[in-house]
Structure 1
Amino acid sequence: MRHRPRRKSRPATPRQADPIEVRVERFGARGDGIARGPEGPLYIPDTVPGDRAIVLPGATRGDGRAATLREVLESGPGRVTPPCAHADRCGGCTLQHASGDLIAAMKRDQLAEALARKGLPADIVAPTVSVPAGSRRRLRLSALRLAAGTVLGFNERASGKVIDVRECPVARRELTDLFPALRDLIGGLECLGRGADVQVTLSDTGVEILLIPTSGGDPSLDERQDLVDFAERHDIARIGWETDGIAEPLVARRTPRTVFAGVPVDLPIGGFLQPSREGQEILTRLVLQGVPDNAPTVADLYAGCGSFAVPLSKRGANVVAVEGSEAAVAALRRGAAGLRLQAECRDLARDPLGVTELNRFQAVVFDPPRAGAAAQAETLAQSAVPRIVAVSCNPATLARDLRSLVDGGYTLDSAVPVDQFTWSGHVEAVAVLSRPV
């Protein structure tokens, strides 16, 4: 008996949800408002707690659904008018509709909740310390060279589309004033192909521009001359070009430089710098408060170019700074010549300092990337270092690392959230731990 082949069934098209009225109850980790929906939580951008709104449920997200705001029927406390014309589309800022006090409270709660999820005390979290808008000195822009003209700006929310940005109240004016000229420059660089990422950094000695092409080849001689002319006209300190992760200077009129505790340090091309000077000063102050004044030997792990190591050394400590970037270590060694500071290049994720190495220090500072310092925290937990100061831009990995240290016998004494990512869901923190004698 022959059987007919079974016809393949097509997946059912999900039914379009109807708009519903909700009351936003709280912020989520990304800065979205969260409300109760018929199928679980709804995550709603552009809302604040207390908003009564009409929303359209959309795709599944975690244990609930994403939703689109259709109309605010009643504003919650803390809702404000966004200051930027691009606020409704730009993915760089997601919280311009919320007051500064509301954002500060949200970021404190974000850190407290991350600690609580790991069984750590949340009541020790201090109020958020925030930097003002218009202070950001480092931006990474996207540029697209199109037939209709060059687009320069940031990605649209949840999209690969680039918004052509004409203003940015987050950033320093020295950077935003360059946008029109940068747009024209990139439009004329055929070597960039379809486009590039553009990193602009304001150092103490001027602006650095780093071009990272998405495709294309090296600049021609004429294009290199165009870059030189651009740097001269706009007083650019340095223009660099990055290919396959390797950056080289194309125009170097002067070296970008920053100052840590009165010590000038030359920045490697494309090197890391805290997003704002104000944020750097806040983090440095909190680190110095966390390290005892009389600690004779201090390790600064993931030290970068020395934003903590140099001030600690200037205060009187013998500092060992450990960093994975050879360029950053070389810059720190040059800048810190004459200080009681030793810089070492080492990949701490693969080769963390061991217990014996750690036990020669009276204090350890660590400031890892977003992935945290899991391996280093494990060895620190077994050490006898009396004081540890942890700096992080990711509450989740910070809480994980702090849990390791507390399990090793440390006491979590304090945690301070720092907001230098204005109008975004990101938050930094400085935590201090001590080992009871």
Structure 2
Amino acid sequence: MDQITVERLDTRACGVCEGCEAPIPRVLPGEVINLVEGAARIATPSEYRVSAPCRHYKTCGGCALQHASDKFVADWKRDVILRGLAAQGVEAEVRPTLTSPANSRRRATFHGKRTKKGVQVGFYGRASETLVDTPDCLLVDPIISGARPAMEALTRAICSRTSTLSLSVTASAAGPDIAVVGEAQLDRKLIELLGSLAGEYDLARLSYNGEVIATLRRPEQAFGAARVMPPPGAFLQATSPGEAALAECVAKAVGDAAKVVDLFCGAGTFALRLASGAAVHGVEAERSLIDALDHGWRHAQGLQTVTTEVRDLFRQPLLEDELARFDAVVLDPPRAGAAAQVARIAEAHVPRISYVSCSPVTFARDARVLTAAGYRLEWVQPVDQFRWSAHIELAAGFALTPQ
């Protein structure tokens, strides 16, 4: 039996120890652990160790940090951002983490399968293909947990004993919006069955493999004064408190800019809010998201002009002359960051930049390019929408340094 001390956590929130071949999950820095047949047993616990609040935590892979106090998790996520920036030689004020409360996740993807005794609906275990039933998940909004009977019924109706379903559930004011992905062929019989289940379980909308089966009520989301119905299974900020915090940061970074371009704009999370005081041009690669944004703008009251463009910003970033007509840029790219687009922005010298990121590593890389081009990184705000996970999000404000 080897006794070792945990030195730090890696970016997946697993413990790194000297002499260990692989990181160790669910330990904390400073803890002394005994390794017994590869499993960690805590000999000396950290002062930040707590009892996991969820009864599914030991087997479910949906959370990674329920054994740590809220303060530790918030500080650790902030520190990951600081270390990422330091590695790129970038300095900035990184504010304390804003953490969404439990039971606030308004979108989550479950998996369903049939068993000898019935059905299972839940998440996979950590680094495992074993599906864990999670009827009492502490992450999700009550609208999503209330949709569990519908998810079970859909699994029972669609799955064979050898297949699984993906069930993406979004909470809306109109009720659950469920997007199902499965292997079964969508024929007339299945369409009729799914339509019946949508009515029986009072779903706002039900889709299967991207095709809308039933819309009983429009599952809209409020983006400022606008009401938007995103496409089935579309990206949406994970929690309402998290989205509000990010939107406040974006508005602060943009300031009083009269003309704003929102790149990777999605269905208009930030663009439609900013349109209350600025003319906004939204750019996004997916036509369905742009259509949802445009519909929301056209049916809202009191907003300034919002124009849209379908464009793959990885292959065709906006060029310097296109960017020159704007006073501010909003960037909310996927995890890969926006290297090609950031290079163009750096050359265009747009006065203000609001950057929203779900990857501290690619954000720090892009921040180095912008600061080298004369921008000042004024502040970074960590926003934790994925409570108890290793996932880290942030918003940041850049301003062009006067020459």
Verify same fold: TM over 0.5: yes
Within the candidate set 318, 321, 324, 2:285 is matched to 324
Unaligned runs of 5+ in 2: none
- Residues 184 and 206 (structure 1), Cα distance of their counterparts in 2 relative to 1, 3 Å cut: closer
Alignment of 1:53-64 (within 5 A): 53-56=33-36
Unaligned runs of 5+ in 1: 1-18, 59-67
SS of the residue corresponding to residue 389 of structure 2 reads: coil
Within the candidate set 165, 186, 202, 1:218 is matched to 186
In the alignment, structure 1 residue 303 sits paired with structure 2 residue 265: yes
Partner letter of residue 65 of structure 2?
A: L
Structure label with greater radius of gyration: 1
Q: Percent identity?
A: 37
Within the candidate set 273, 280, 295, 2:236 is matched to 273
Contact residue 192 and residue 217 of structure 1 kept, 8 A: no
Taking only aligned residues, the RMSD between alpha carbons, in angstroms, comes to 1.8
Within the candidate set 221, 231, 234, 2:198 is matched to 231
In the alignment, structure 1 residue 142 sits paired with structure 2 residue 99: no
Within the candidate set 101, 104, 107, 1:132 is matched to 101
Aligned partner of 1:352 in structure 2 is 317
Alignment of 1:32-431 (within 5 A): 32-36=14-18, 39=19, 43-56=23-36, 68-69=39-40, 71-121=41-91, 124-189=93-158, 194-213=163-182, 215-221=183-189, 223-242=190-209, 247-293=210-256, 295-314=257-276, 316-337=277-298, 339-431=304-396
Deviation at 1:184, TM superposition (A): 3.1
Alignment partners' CA distance in 1, 2:399 and 2:21: 39
Alignment partners' CA distance in 1, 2:370 and 2:380: 14
Contact residue 238 and residue 251 of structure 1 kept, 8 A: yes
Which TM-score applies when normalising by structure 1?
0.87
Alignment partners' CA distance in 2, 1:304 and 1:191: 35
Alignment partners' CA distance in 2, 1:365 and 1:164: 40
- Residues 184 and 266 (structure 1), Cα distance of their counterparts in 2 relative to 1, 3 Å cut: closer
SS of the residue corresponding to residue 266 of structure 2 reads: coil
Deviating above 4 A after TM superposition, structure 1's stretches of 4 or more consecutive aligned residues are 190-193
Alignment partners' CA distance in 1, 2:203 and 2:161: 20
Aligned partner of 1:28 in structure 2 is 10
Partner letter of residue 119 of structure 1?
A: G
SS of the residue corresponding to residue 312 of structure 2 reads: coil
Partner letter of residue 283 of structure 2?
A: V
Which TM-score applies when normalising by structure 2?
0.94
SS of the residue corresponding to residue 23 of structure 2 reads: strand
Deviation at 1:339, TM superposition (A): 3.4
Partner letter of residue 416 of structure 1?
A: Q
- Residues 41 and 386 (structure 1), Cα distance of their counterparts in 2 relative to 1, 3 Å cut: farther
Deviation at 1:191, TM superposition (A): 7.4
Contact residue 34 and residue 41 of structure 1 kept, 8 A: no
Contact residue 14 and residue 25 of structure 2 kept, 8 A: yes
Alignment partners' CA distance in 2, 1:417 and 1:80: 23
Alignment partners' CA distance in 2, 1:225 and 1:216: 14
Alignment partners' CA distance in 1, 2:255 and 2:304: 19
Deviation at 1:149, TM superposition (A): 2.8
Deviation at 1:220, TM superposition (A): 4.2
Q: Which has the higher contact order (CA 8 A, sep 6+)?
A: 2
